[in-house]
Each structure stands twice: as C-alpha cells, then as structure tokens.
Structure 1
Amino acid sequence: MFSTEPVLSLDHADIYQGSKLILGDVSFQINKGDFAYLIGRTGSGKTSLLKTLYADLWLQSGKGFVAGYPLEKLKPRDVPFLRRKIGIVFQDFQLFSDRTVEENLRFVLKATGWSSKAEMNNRIADVLMQVGLGTAQKKMPHQLSGGEQQRVVVARAMLNEPQMLIADEPTGNLDPAVSDQIMKVFQAINNAGTAVLMATHNYELLNKYPARVLRCQDGQVIELGG
C-alpha cells in the first residue's frame, strides 16, 4: 500500500525533559524516502527531540505523528509497536558482547514476535547483506572493527523493515573513512525507500552528502535553506 502521509510530522510540538521546556513550537515533517540531518550544539535539544519521536519522552503539548502513531495519544502498550516501525541507531553500539552477530539480531526478532526459525535466518541474512556484512553472522562483536559493529547496529535497526531510521550521532565514534562507509550504508537504505533522520555534529558529512538540514537552536527547530 502506498501511503502519501508523512512518516513523521510534528505540529506545534513542545519538547520537554521533565518539566523543562527544551524546544518550543516545533513543526516539520519527513516523508517516505526523505533524508534529513538534525544539527545543533551539544545541549541544544537534538537527543530530546529524537527521544520524543521514539517515545522515550512523552509529547506533552502539540501534535506528533510517527509511523501512523499519534504521539500525544500514545499509550505505553503502543510503544513497542511504534518502535518496530522505526529503526533506532545509537552512537554506542549496545550489542551483547557475549553473543554472536546472528544471536544479537535473533534476540531482537524474537523480542518483536518472530517465531519461524527459517524466516528469522532469512531476515538476518538479508539485513547483513544490506549493510555489507554478509559473512559476519558467527563473529563476536569484539572480533569486529568499530565500523563493522556500527553496521551490525544499522542491520539490527532494519530487521523489522522500518518506515524510518532515527540515528543519533551514528558516526560519532568512528574515524572519517569509516564514517563515509556508514553514510553510504544509510544512503543505500534511504534510496531503497526508508526515511532517515540523523542527528550529527559532523558537518563534513553535510557537505559531502547534502540533504535537508534541521537545526536545533535557541529552543527552536529551523529548517536551513528550506
């Protein structure tokens, strides 16, 4: 089914951390297949905004819509279903160090309701191919480089074929050459139709891989050049 509604829209949303207003009156949308950067100084509200999108922080006023779910009306029981429709990539890899790559990915599939072993194996093979790690199934995280570990994290985020990937500083711990490789993975995923919203402070990426830019500044989110 082709849907024209945005994958993400915020309409006069106020982003709070506890009782502190972090960003006020935020309005923007991201459509299927969009790629957008989220930039801003440390402490400008990028992470709070992302956390609101995947319901780690509640939207207290205004409207928000992510992958078909209204954030302002979200019930706690809906949160896992919302998170299945968006993939989340963090800067720290959060892989289980005592399990192979394959076991890390299978854990997520089981946790999100998959039961067929054959289907799980196929999906794991698919996402690892997608990120260029087709032969890494049996490796332990410590046998992988930082860039390879980050690819596994991207693969993990793609397991449930999300409509959108939210990435919080995904290249923050990686050197420039590896950052380039990770960006190419994100671009390939984006070209296949998945929207990407990436928080970054790496301005070289913005020049090298131009896309929409949203900036958190002075308690607001503004679109640059838009």
Structure 2
Amino acid sequence: MFSTDPVLSFEHADVYQGDRLVLGDVTFQIHKGDFAYLIGRTGSGKSSLLKTLYADLFLRNGKGHIAGFALESLKPRDVPMLRRKIGIVFQDFQLFTDRSVEDNLRFVLKATGWTNKNDINNRIADVLMQVGLGTAQKRMPHQMSGGEQQRVVIARAMLNEPQILIADEPTGNLDPAVSDQIMKVFQTINSAGTAVFMATHNYELLNKYPARVLRCQDGQVIELAG
C-alpha cells in the first residue's frame, strides 16, 4: 500500500546537545521522493538535527517521526532497527581500510540480518552499479580516490533500501568536479523514490541543483521560499 505519510516529520521538537537547547520548536516534513537541503553556519545546529534523526541524540520535547519510528519514544534497543530503515552518509567515509569494497558492504548486510550468500552478493552488485562502481568489488579503499570512496559510502547507505538518505556534508572533502558527480548520484537515487536530506555549506550546489532549502538560524529551522 502506498503511504502518503511523510518519511520524516518534526512537530514542535526541541533539539538538545547535552543540556543545551540547540534548536527550538522545529516543525517540518519530508515526503517520499523529496530532496531537501539543510544549511546554516557552523554551530547553527545542522549536525545536532541530523544526529537526532538517527538517534545519536535523543528527542526530549515535541514529536519526531522517521521511517515509521517515533523519535520521542524511541528505546535504545530500537536504534539499530531505525538505522536499518535510513541511509546515513558521513563526510568522513568511515570505511574499514583493511577490507575490500565488497567486504565493507558485506559486513553491513550481515550485521543487519542478511544470511543468504547469493542475496548478499546480488545486493552488493546492485548498489555498486547504482553509484557507478560496478567493477570495484575487490578494490581496497586506499586504491580509490575520495570521490570513489564517497560513492562506496553512498552504496553502503543504500544496502537496505532506505526510505530516506541522510547526508552530512557529503561533498565537504571533495573538489567541485567530484562534488558534481556525487550530486548526480544523489539525484539518481532520489529520482528512483528515495528521499534525500542533505546538510551542506556548499551554496554552489544549491544553485546548480535546486531543491527545498531548510536553514538553521538563531535556534530555529526556517524553510526558505523557493
């Protein structure tokens, strides 16, 4: 059944970092197939907001829903299940440097309950094709450029067919030409139906690849007029 419920929603949510209120009264929704940027100065709360989405920080006040989970009532034991339903792409790749690309991806699938060897191999091949690395299974991270490593990270985030991809400065360490390639990968994934919510300080991307823009500013999240 096709659901019209948002993939991600906040209602009057307060985002805390420790005991400090970082963002107050946050209210917005992201639906299936949406692409939205999250912008704001360093220290404005972008990362705290994203960490709340994947339960690195817990939501204390207000309501938050993502991929069918209520963040305000999430138990620590539910966090692994939540993270299976969303894809997370970090700026620093966090790949195992001593394992090949396919072993990096196989580790995640096994950790999230995949057991059938053929299914695992097929899924790895699928996600690598999706990000344009169809022949990279046996390569080691150190044999790859930064852009290629970031593609592996995106492939890893897509393994469990998430409803939403959360990306924290995914082009932060990449030069402009490579950033363009990574954006095209995100657009392909997005056009296939996965929502993308991406924090960035690269305003050139906003001009080149227009989408919804949410800004963290003065302790609030404001949607900029399109």
* TM-score calculated relative to the size of structure 2: 0.99
Residue type matched to 1:25 in 2? D
**Which residue of the partner structure matches residue 56 of structure 2?**
56
Show the counterpart of 2:166: 166
Q: Aligned ranges for residues 138-157 of structure 1 at < 5 Å?
A: 138-157=138-157
- Which letter does structure 2 place at the counterpart of 1:129? M
- Superposed counterparts of 1:101-140, under 5 Å: 101-140=101-140
Provide the secondary structure at the position in 2 that maps to 1:87: strand
Residue identity in the other structure for 2:31: N
- Match of 1:78, SS state, is helix
Q: How does 1:57-76 map to 2 (within 5 A)?
A: 57-76=57-76
The corresponding residue for 1:177 is 177
In 1, the alpha carbon distance for the partners of 2:60 and 2:17 equals 10
Q: Secondary structure at the match of 1:97?
A: coil
Task: Give the secondary structure class of the aligned counterpart of 2:196.
Answer: strand
Q: Which digits, 9 at most, give the CA deviation of each residue in 1:71-90, with x for residues without a partner?
A: 00001111111111100000
Question: Which structure 1 residue ranges, 5 or more long, are not aligned?
Answer: none
Hey, what does 1:196 align to over in structure 2? 196
Equivalent residue for 1:15?
15
Question: Which residue does 1:94 correspond to in 2?
Answer: 94
Match of 1:118, SS state, is helix
Which residue is 1:6 aligned to? 6
1: CA distance, partners of 2:105 / 2:2: 28
- Equivalent position SS for 2:186: helix
Runs of 4+ in 1 over 6 A off after TM superposition: none
CA distance in 1, matches of 2:155, 2:189: 10
TM-score (norm 1): 0.99
Partner in structure 1 of residue 24 of structure 2 = 24
1:105-129 Cα shifts (integer Å, max 9, x gaps): 0000000000000000000000000
CA RMSD of aligned residues (A): 0.5
Question: Could you report, residue by residue, the CA deviation over 1:9-28 in whole angstroms, capped at 9, with x for unpaired residues?
Answer: 00000000111000000000
Percent sequence identity over aligned pairs: 85
Letter in 1 for 2:36: A
Give the deviation of 1:218 after TM superposition: 0.2
Secondary structure at 2:171 match in 1 = coil
Instruction: Name the structure 1 match of 2:34.
Output: 34
**Post-superposition offset of 1:2:** 1.0
